[in-house]
Amino acid sequence: MQFGLFSNNRRPRRRLGEGWELDLEEARVADEAGFSEVWFSEHEAPAEPLIARASAITKQIKLGPAVRPLPFYHPIQVALDCNASDQLTNGRYMLGLGTGFRPHRVAWRGQDPAQMREMTRESLDVIMRLLKTRPEPFDLDGKYWKGKQLYVDIAPVQQPHPPIAMSVANSRDSARLCGRLGMMMLTSDFATNHHLSELGDGLVEGQVEAGLPKSRAGLHACRVVYVAATDGEARDDMRESYNETIAWEVANTPWHQQERIPAGGTFADINFDYLVDTGNLFVGSPATVRQMIESFHKDVGGFGTLLFHSGRDYATPEKVRNSIRTFGRDVAPALRDL
């Protein structure tokens, strides 16, 4: 098993630039702690500027956007940015793709938000053609994307192209597509164990359909992970901030919390300690967090990478960075063989 960060910046009490600096510092610490990758969300701006900055302060960790919303960009731009970023990071770039979730940004660009999924599929086909086959220049006359004599004139460092991942929420069909295309699969921290297990099965089904080796290594699971010296200390560090997170999610994106409601309960029954007690959040001492991850891995049926949901003020910046260091030193070595 490998470990990484899903740097999903939302620090409402901080200036945006200050929040990004904290994200970069977490990436630097994760690199030193032996984590394998960091994925930066594209919320306010493309992730590539952050990735370029992160590559200058890290040594070995791979870096990618999670995700580039394909309806926002012409596919030739995504392909060019991919290979340019691979050059700038000296072969440490990963391309994360998805539909995105902000329809108004599609409307900004003069497109119909109702067509986002169809736009994504058409764009994906073109990007894979541009990156995978290195074709002679070709004309594009699609429903959403058009162009003359397209080709990528920037070679990547990684051959035949940087690793590619796609964001998948709950669709087993999308998981099968990842498998058929030989891509990694990114999932959210809200995906239940059952859904993750089904998505992993779908990934393997797609691999079989394409005649590829069966493997769940490309499945990236995501969870909130926080380690301190004792269970009590870890909970005390996080309780206030995560209860605020729950309140914000219930008010703004309640569908994220829907499956966390206790049987016969309501949103009001969801709180930080309940989520830790039920294994939704991996919070505690090194021994406790290790046991939680082992149980999670078994329940899901296996996966290749565990991403820490980060880019949030779950505790003070110093304590968050110390959690990453402690995990790398005291937890990760016991889990790598899973």
Which ranges of the chain does DSSP label H, i.e. alpha helix? 16-32, 48-57, 75-88, 103-108, 116-132, 172-181, 193-209, 231-252, 272-277, 286-300, 317-326, 332-335
pLDDT value at residue 28: 98
What is the separation of C-alpha 6 from the centre of its chain, rounded to a whole number of angstroms? 5
**pLDDT, tens digit, for every residue of 27-36?**
999 999 999 9
pLDDT higher than 80, residue 135: no
Distance of alpha carbon 144 from alpha carbon 120, whole angstroms: 10
- Contacts of residue 99, Cβ cutoff 8 Å, sequence gap at least 6: 69, 70, 71, 116, 117, 120, 167
Per-residue pLDDT of 200-214, as tens digits, reads 999 999 999 999 999
**Superfamily (CATH) of domain 2-235+281-335:** Luciferase-like domain (3.20.20.30)
Nearest to 164 by CA among 180, 182, 148: 182
For 147-186, the pLDDT digits (tens) are 999 999 999 999 999 999 999 998 999 999 999 999 999 9
Domain boundaries, the chain: 2-235+281-335
User: Which of 83-92, 97-106, 160-169, 172-181 shows the lowest mean pLDDT across its residues?
Assistant: 97-106
Percent above pLDDT 90 for the chain? 92
Contact assessment for residue 39 and residue 307, using Cβ atoms and an 8 Å cutoff: yes
Percentage of the chain lying above the pLDDT 70 cut: 100
* pLDDT number for residue 105: 86
Q: How far apart are CA 96 and CA 160, in angstroms?
A: 16
SS3 of residue 9 by DSSP: coil
Distance CA 222, CA 72 (A): 25
Predicted confidence at residue 133, as pLDDT, reads 72
How many angstroms from the chain centroid is the CA of residue 108? Answer: 25
> How high is the pLDDT of residue 68?
97
Residue with token string 């889990």? 335
CA distance 228 to 276: 14
Structure token pair of residue 193: 């164990």
pTM of the entire predicted model: 0.96
For the cut 90, the answer to whether the pLDDT of residue 103 exceeds it is: no
What percentage of the chain's residues is helix, strand, coil (to nearest 5)? 50, 15, 35
> Average per-residue pLDDT in the chain?
96
Angle at 59 between CA 56 and CA 61, to 5 degrees: 105
pLDDT at residue number 41: 96
Q: Retrieve residue 322's tokens.
A: 């110390």
pLDDT on residue 167: 97
Residue 182's pLDDT is 96
Residues 231-281 have pLDDT tens digits of: 999 999 999 999 999 999 999 999 989 999 999 999 999 999 999 999 999
Q: Which of 24, 113, 42 is nearest to 78 (CA)?
A: 42
